[in-house]
């Protein structure tokens, strides 16, 4: 059921009862769930929240709480702030080790003078606590727990319509343990920096070159380059390909050193 109590406001709830068929030897799972949602949209503000409770019985006996929240506000024509909070906790009554917990929250800002599009500055603080569910652990999926604080800033400068220069600096402070719910927590402090240049040619093509550097406490320093080429498809979409010569990502909540290789880049704007 969805309700619209006033202009820009929305409220709603969902009730669910279902039967899930597992493998024949496991039997069936009976699920009950309740969710509540709300939000507001206006010229300057967008907000949405959802809270859900779920209980499984039968072949599985689990209770789960999840919540997702988004907030965006335009302070003026040049400055915006945004926030996000995602939460999930699962308790398993049959196997306590099958429980999981995930908390991701961030708050950020963007500044771009409305009367001078040459400059832009972005910043974001992120907190992440992640203990993956058993179904998400395997040979091709990260098998580690983490609790991280990440602070990142990025500046962009357009001296003219052809050139664009950018720099990014990020710092992670936190701990990680390799092995789900086991092992000792280890300091994972890391610093990341990158310098990037873009050049436009033939009006719709864009060349990209980036130098990136990573310093991991007790893990040494890594550095290298990233290159790419993009093409504008109309006024609102850009697609391209590139190659990352380094093994690391600029996302400091990702501990996998498997990012070397080709990538596809797509950007949409409105």
Closest alpha carbon to 52 in 9, 91, 93, 13: 13
Domains identified in the chain, total number? 1
pLDDT tens for 223-254 read: 999 999 999 999 899 999 999 999 999 999 88
In a domain, 204, yes or no: yes
The Cα 10–Cα 134 span in angstroms is 35
pLDDT score of 179 more than 80: no
Q: What is the pLDDT of residue 270?
A: 75
In a domain, 61, yes or no: no
In a domain, 232, yes or no: yes
Give the residue numbers spanning the domain of 184.
Answer: 75-268
**For residue 265, what are the CA distances in angstroms to 59, 121, 208?**
43, 21, 11
The Cα 155–Cα 101 span in angstroms is 34
Asked if 216 and 192 touch (Cβ cutoff 8 Å), the reply is no
pTM value?
Answer: 0.86
Q: Average pLDDT over the chain, rounded to whole?
A: 91
In a domain, 45, yes or no: no
CATH of the domain at 235: 2.40.160
In a domain, 5, yes or no: no
Closest alpha carbon to 242 in 227, 222, 221, 220: 227
In a domain, 52, yes or no: no
pLDDT tens for 11-35 read: 999 999 999 887 766 788 999 999 9
pLDDT score of 255 more than 80: yes
In a domain, 29, yes or no: no
In a domain, 15, yes or no: no
């Amino acid at each position: 059921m969805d309700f619209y109590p006033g202009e820009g406001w929305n409220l709603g709830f969902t009730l669910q009862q279902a039967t899930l068929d597992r493998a024949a030897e496991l039997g069936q799972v009976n699920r009950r769930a309740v969710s509540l949602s709300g939000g507001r949209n206006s010229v300057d503000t967008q907000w949405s929240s959802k809270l859900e409770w779920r209980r499984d019985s039968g072949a599985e006996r689990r209770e789960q709480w999840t919540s997702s929240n988004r907030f965006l506000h335009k302070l003026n024509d040049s400055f915006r702030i945004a926030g996000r909070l995602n939460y999930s906790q699962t308790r398993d009554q049959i196997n306590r080790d099958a429980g999981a917990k995930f908390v991701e929250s961030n708050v950020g800002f963007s500044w771009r003078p409305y009367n001078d599009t040459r400059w832009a500055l972005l910043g974001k603080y992120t907190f992440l606590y992640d203990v993956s569910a058993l179904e998400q652990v395997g040979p091709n999926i990260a098998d580690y727990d983490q609790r991280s604080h990440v602070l990142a800033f990025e500046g962009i400068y357009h001296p003219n319509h052809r050139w664009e220069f950018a720099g990014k600096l990020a710092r992670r402070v936190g701990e990680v343990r390799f092995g789900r719910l086991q092992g000792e927590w280890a300091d994972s402090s890391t610093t990341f920096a990158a310098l990037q240049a873009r050049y436009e040619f033939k009006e719709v093509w864009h060349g990209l070159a980036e130098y990136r550097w990573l310093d991991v406490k007790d893990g040494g320093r890594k550095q290298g380059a990233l290159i790419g080429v993009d093409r504008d498809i109309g006024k609102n979409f850009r697609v391209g390909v590139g190659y990352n010569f380094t093994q690391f990502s600029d996302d400091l909540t990702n501990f996998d050193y498997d990012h070397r290789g080709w990538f596809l880049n797509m950007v949409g704007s409105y």
